A and B are shown apart, each in its own frame.
Chain A
Amino acid sequence: MKADTARIVLIQVASLAVALATWEGLARAGWIDPLFVPAPSAVARSFGSVGALAMAGLADTLAKTAVAYVLAVVLGVAAGVAVGSLRALNDVLHPFVVALYGMPKILVLPWIVLLLGYGTAPAIAYGALHGFFPVMVLVVGAVRDVDRTLITVARAFGARPWQLYLKVILPAIVPSVIAAMRLGLVFCLLGVLVVELFAGIRGMGYVMGSLANAFRAPELFAATGLISVASIAIVLALDALNERLSRWR
Chain B
Amino acid sequence: MAAKRLTRAEKKRRQFIQTMGMLGVVTAGALAGIIPSVKGWANRLRPPGALTEQKFLAACIKCGQCVQVCPVNAIKLADIGDGVGIGTPYIDSREQACDFSCDGLQCVLACPTGSLTHEVNFSHEVDIGIAKLVRPKSCLAVNGQGFKGPARGVDFKGLMRYQEVDRWNPIPIADHPYDLELCDLCVRTCPIEIRANQCDIGKPPSGDEQQCPPKRAIRLVEIDSDDGVKRMRPEILDGCVGCGVCEMICPVEPTAIIVENNELRTGKYPRV
Instruction: State yes or no: do A and B come from one complex.
Output: no
